[in-house]
Structure 1
Amino acid sequence: MLEVSALNTFYGGAHILRDVGFALAGNEVVALLGRNGAGKSTTMKSIMGLVRPRSGSVRFEGEEIAGAPAFRICREGIGYVPEDRRVFAALTVEENLEVGRRPPRENTATWSEDALYTLFPNLGERRRQAAGRLSGGEQQMLTIARTLMGNPRLILLDEPSEGIAPRIVEEMAGVILEMKRQGVTVLLSEQNLYFAKLVSDRAVIIEKGEVRFAGPFAALAEQPEIAQQYLVV
């Protein structure tokens, strides 16, 4: 579904991503792992068109999208949940969901408000509450739900477990697995190895803008020195 090849991204003169490459199959959850500053968020922004790569390829369902504007990439069926959530604080939960609404897509799960309130019961209980009054974990849920209202085939989740309570982290794992059951492919940026293992089929480890490992978690478990070198703070 997604193929990233030889991606190079710069911020000014700083070379952030160096020939980054990996792929996702349809209906798969892949974890992009690495320490703070490793290049995980830049990789996601480069895929989503929020940062323009200087070179390389990003192909979504066979179509080249590298360097395309973010609105076009969204229309192609990719959703993005940023690390900093960015809810519309003055709008209610219902109104935030309405902002994300897009028409149904062929051969793609269609998400309604009722389906999302079933997936996120806390949001259903607070549907008329201003988003700015939600907890951090609830705001994270709302951002994911708002993105699902766009009926994406692929969703990019940037650090979904960061800064939320352990109970909400467990709920978030259930949400990602349900998204997979509904046919949504997920690229997950994470530092939390335990959380990533709960939901992901494979791992891609990035360090200093370069891919250092790509494979199933079973292979990573057999090489503990890799996690020690690139993930332990």
Structure 2
Amino acid sequence: MLEVRDLDAFYGGAQILRGLSLKVGEGEVVALLGRNGAGKSTTLKSIMGLVRPRAGSVAFEGREIAGLPSYRICRLGLGYVPEERRIFKELSVLENLEVGRREAAPGYPPWTPERLFELFPNLAERRGNAGGDLSGGEQQMLTIARTLMGNPRLLLLDEPSEGIAPLLVELLAKTLRTLKGQGLTLLLSEQNLHFARALSDRAYIIEGGAIRYEGTIAELDARPEIRSAYLVV
């Protein structure tokens, strides 16, 4: 579904991504693991067109999307959940969802607020509350729900477990497993190996803007030296 090849990306004169390549198959959950500053967020932003790659290719369902503006990439079926969440704090939960509404592609069941409230019962209870009144974990759920209202076929999540309470982390993992069971394809950047392990089929490890390891979660579990070299803080 998604293929990134030999991607270079810069912030000004500083090179962040160096020949980065990865693939995500339809229906897979793939984790991009690495320490802070390794290039995880830049990878997702480059896929979404928020950072313009200087070299390399990004193909979604066989179509080259590198260089397209973000709104066109979104319309093709990619959804992006930023680390910063960026909810509209003055708007209610329901109003935040309506902001993200887009028609579903033919043959795909559309996401509606009612369907999302079944998936996120915490939000159902607070549908009339302002986004700024929610806890950090609830805001993360709202960000994911708002992105789903755009009916993406591939969801990019940037550090979804960061900064939220452990109980809500477990609830979020359960929700993402439900989405996986419904056939949604996920690419998530994470530092939390436990969280990624509970969801992912495969993992890439990024360090210094380049992929240093690729394998299944089981293969990564069997390689403690890889975890020590690239993931232990």
Normalising by structure 2, what TM-score? 0.99
Q: Does 1:161 align with 2:161?
A: yes
Q: CA deviation at 1:222?
A: 1.8
Measure, in 1, the Cα distance between the counterparts of 2:220 and 2:133. 40
C-alpha distance after superposition, 1:89-132 (max 9, x if no partner) = 00000000000000121233421111100110010000010001
Partners of 2:201 and 2:107 lie apart in 1 by: 23
Give, in whole Å, the separation in 2 of the partners of 1:181 and 1:217. 18
- Give the conservation status (yes or no) of the 8 Å contact 1:109–1:182: no
Question: Which stretch of the first structure deviates more once superposed, 9-18 or 108-117?
Answer: 108-117
Distance 1:123 1:215 in 2: 35
| Alignment partner, residue 69 of structure 1 | 69
Structure 1 residue 205 corresponds to structure 2 residue 205: yes
Q: In the alignment, which residue of structure 1 is the partner of 2:227? A: 227
Output the amino acid matched with 1:147: T
Structure 1 CA distance for aligned equivalents of residues 223 and 61 of structure 2: 32
Offset, 1:27: 0.6
Aligned partners of 2:193 and 2:164: how far apart in 1?
15
1:60-113 CA-partner distances (Å, limit 9, x unpaired): 000000111000000000000000100000000000000000012123342111
Which residue of 2 is the match for residue 10 of structure 1? 10
RMSD (Å) for aligned C-alpha atoms: 0.7
Report the Cα offset of residue 183 of structure 1. Answer: 1.6
Return the alpha-carbon distance in structure 1 between the equivalents of residues 10 and 160 of structure 2. Answer: 25
**Following TM superposition, where does structure 1 have runs of at least 4 consecutive aligned residues deviating by more than 6 angstroms?**
none
Q: Deviations over 1:140-177 (max 9, x none)?
A: 00000000001100000000000100110001111111
Alignment-mate amino acid for residue 35 of structure 2: R
| Equivalent residues in 2 for 1:1-233, closer than 5 Å | 1-233=1-233
Shifted more, 60-69 versus 99-108: the winner is 99-108
SS in 2 for 1:199: coil
Determine the C-alpha separation between the residues in 2 that align with 1:108 and 1:170: 28
Tell me the percent identity.
65
1:218, 1:232 → 2: CA distance? 18
- Give 1:134 shift: 0.5
Relative to structure 2, which stretch is displaced further, 50-59 or 219-228?
219-228
AA at the equivalent of 2:145: A
Structure 2: distance between partners of 1:136 and 1:21: 32
Where 2:22 maps in the other structure, the secondary structure is: strand
What are the ranges of 5 or more consecutive residues in structure 2 without an aligned counterpart?
A: none
